[in-house]
Chain A
Amino acid sequence: MRFEKRMHYLEDVQLFRYRSDMAWYILLLLLLLAAPAAMGTYWVSLLIQIGIYIIVALGLNLLSGYTGQVSLGHAAFFAVGAYTSAILTGKYSIPFLLALPASGVAGAAAGLVVGLPALRLKGLYLAIATMGFGFIVEEIIVQWESVTNSVNGLMVTRPVIGPISFQSDKSYYYLVLAVVLIMVLAIKNILRTPTGRAFIAIRDSEIAAESMGVSLTVYKTAAFAISAFYAGVAGSLFAHFMFFIGPENFTIMESISFLVMILVGGLGSVHGAVFGAVFITFLPEAISLSRGYLPAVIGEQAGLQSAVYGLVLLLFIRFEPLGLYGRWLKVKFYFENFPFYKKDTFRRVRKFHRTVKQ
């Protein structure tokens, strides 16, 4: 058990609750800075992928986890960011340092386009409408050949900022890390201010949020725009990381895997976004590693990866709906309060009533 003594109101919202927390995060940062020196290129490229997914997951978590608006078309915003960056740097030779925020803004603009009509939609209808938006964007990429080069895709180069070139994976890693840190900090700030509270309020009760003076129009649209901004920035980093982008990178399955990320990581938590990104990147690795140890009938199946993927998703929803972060909290709680842990401490509150139809 730990005891807290607060001397100032703002201590409630500081980034690190305890001094020991801060020490752990500094240690983590140091490890991340040192990582490329100790790792092979392959592992560094996995870390880059994780970083890119973290950014998407942070944004999607803000929209779906915090504001409660499900988006089944987030790959579309990711695509808008990727193509914006690829076209700006490739065709118009605009420096990456401008193209990166521009991709975010383009994503946010697309987010506004979806967000405004989505205002009147709830739950399921919103999910289906965003899914439709995803299909439409995918088709636009295929058909708008003069800009996107259709199914042949676009070549993208690694960025150069001033004198520094990020050609190698190891140098690009530091660029991604820097962007991830900025994005994490921004979301932490949103969450500890009236903006973030308004988002969560909308999720919990739209009626109460309105009667607190929260404009549903403004904040739902803002949630879409911010979330899509994150996806756009991530898309830009993705394009420059992959060297090549095509419509097959931005399908409905990509949107679903973004959602899996925040669900498995933990809905409505920043840690969850990170855990989810790590999970989604390492799952295919773990499966391909384990293929050798499985009986040939199973191990050689081409569909093994998606089968495991579906199964893991089902198991998480069934047994740990709070995701990896929820599990982490439980383990931590168990040790901090040993031996006072009760099985019911984290019992879920479920609602059994149905929507009232009038």
Chain B
Amino acid sequence: MSDNGFFRAAGISIQFGGIKALENVSLDVKQGEVHAIIGPNGAGKTTLLNCISRQYKADSGQVFFQGKNILKLKPHQVVSRGIARTFQNIELFKNMTVMDNMLLGRHSQRATGIFSDILFYGKARQQESDFRLKVEEVIDFLDLQAYRNRIINDVPYGVQKNVELGRALVMEPRLLLLDEPSSGLNMEETQDLAFWIEDIRDDLGITIILVEHDMRLVMDSCDRVTALDYGGVLAVGEPKEVVKNPDVVKAYLGE
């Protein structure tokens, strides 16, 4: 696969009632890299992520993933192309157990229809067993064993964040979108997250796009960075270069 054939968003624009949230934003992500999107509050980082996963409908632009334009798909179809995501303010199923939440991550892989589910025999039974096997792998990966059968409402915030990450991993995506994965986490949890991000890239071979405020995490774990401000791209490059870029410094610190 050619270098920029993996993921490329070009000319994305969207406005909400006259306010231009994104204007002609482009984003290139190479296969196998961790790509951070940074920028001050209101720069349009989450909006860009929402446009990619189709929660928002971009006014114009194109998003190519593995050579196919995904900007016309519905949110649930984007998932079956191999793009998983997490949310800024945790969108878990609050009245379900950790296990059931993660099992839902397998939903896009289901091979049975509603009728064979009603009979729950043969293939449906086997599939359920396979789903659980995959979920257990991820539970081991993220150390969630202790919370397996707890209701989401009853587990701490940091664990909820991990469950959401786990739920995305269960999908076995090729591209993972993380929206502020470290927000609300303490030092230790952020440290774990940094390790996991590396493991996800190196061991699971998943490409990651993450929106992040914690610059240390960005410096340590990300391969490339795109900086946004006022809905436009300020700079793209390696973390070390981007933080030195005068425009980026100005955006963060003012004149």
In the complex they form, whether A and B have CB atoms below 8 Å apart is answered with: yes
Q: Contacts A194-B107, A194-B117 known; A10 to B128 CB distance under 8 Å?
A: yes
Q: Contacts A198-B107, A212-B104 known; A193 to B53 CB distance under 8 Å?
A: no
Which of the candidate stretches A70-78, A214-222, A298-306 sits at the interface with the other chain? A214-222
Tell yes or no: A18 within 8 A of B by CB: no
CB distance from A119 to the nearest CB of B (A): 12
Tell me whether A186 and B118 are in contact (CB under 8 A). Answer: yes
How many angstroms between the C-alpha atoms of A9 and B134 in the bound complex?
11
Which of the candidate stretches A39-47, A201-209, A328-336 sits at the interface with the other chain? A201-209
Tell me whether B128 and A197 are in contact (CB under 8 A). Answer: no
Tell yes or no: A164 within 8 A of B by CB: no
Tell yes or no: B105 within 8 A of A by CB: yes
CB distance from A36 to the nearest CB of B (A): 29
Q: Which residues of B contact A210 (CB under 8 A)?
A: 55, 74-76
How many angstroms between the C-alpha atoms of A215 and B74 in the bound complex?
9
How many angstroms between the C-alpha atoms of A281 and B95 in the bound complex?
30
Tell yes or no: B98 within 8 A of A by CB: no
How many angstroms between the C-alpha atoms of A320 and B92 in the bound complex?
26
How many angstroms between the C-alpha atoms of A203 and B94 in the bound complex?
10
Name the residue of chain B whose CB is nearest to the CB of A195: B117
Size of the A side of the interface (Cβ < 8 Å), in residues, is: 34
Q: Contacts A190-B118, A197-B103 known; A216 to B76 CB distance under 8 Å?
A: yes
How many angstroms between the C-alpha atoms of A208 and B76 in the bound complex?
10
Main SS of chain B's interface residues?
Answer: helix
Q: Which residues of B contact A122 (CB under 8 A)?
A: none
Tell me whether A189 and B107 are in contact (CB under 8 A). Answer: no
Name the residue of chain B whose CB is nearest to the CB of A187: B118
Tell me whether B104 and A9 are in contact (CB under 8 A). Answer: no
Q: Which residues of B contact A358 (CB under 8 A)?
A: 16
Tell yes or no: B171 within 8 A of A by CB: yes
Tell me whether B128 and A201 are in contact (CB under 8 A). Answer: no
Tell me whether A194 and B53 are in contact (CB under 8 A). Answer: no
How many angstroms between the C-alpha atoms of A196 and B160 in the bound complex?
22
Tell me whether A197 and B107 are in contact (CB under 8 A). Answer: yes
Q: Which residues of A contact B99 (CB under 8 A)?
A: 12
Tell yes or no: B72 within 8 A of A by CB: no
Q: Contacts A192-B128, A211-B91 known; A204 to B105 CB distance under 8 Å?
A: no
How many angstroms between the C-alpha atoms of A226 and B94 in the bound complex?
25
A8, A193, A211: the one contacting B85 at CB < 8 Å is A211
How many angstroms between the C-alpha atoms of A226 and B118 in the bound complex?
11
Tell me whether A9 and B79 are in contact (CB under 8 A). Answer: no
Q: Which residues of B contact A226 (CB under 8 A)?
A: 114
Name the residue of chain A whose CB is nearest to the CB of B108: A213
Q: Which residues of A contact B104 (CB under 8 A)?
A: 194, 197-198, 201, 209, 212, 214
Name the residue of chain B whose CB is nearest to the CB of A205: B91
Q: Which residues of A contact B153 (CB under 8 A)?
A: 349
Tell me whether B117 and A197 are in contact (CB under 8 A). Answer: no
Tell yes or no: A80 within 8 A of B by CB: no
Tell yes or no: B215 within 8 A of A by CB: no
Q: Which residues of B contact A8 (CB under 8 A)?
A: 129
Can you name 7 extra interface pairs (CB under 8 A) apart from A190-B118, A195-B117, A204-B94?
A: A194-B110, A197-B107, A204-B95, A211-B76, A211-B87, A211-B91, A213-B80
Sort A-B residue pairs by CB-CB distance and give the 4 closest, nearest first. Answer: A213-B108, A213-B79, A9-B132, A204-B93
Give chain A's interface residues, CB within 8 Å of chain B: 8-10, 12-13, 186, 189-190, 192-198, 200-201, 203-205, 207-216, 222, 226, 349, 358
**Contacts A/B (CB < 8 Å), 6 sampled:** A193-B128, A201-B93, A205-B91, A207-B55, A212-B104, A212-B105
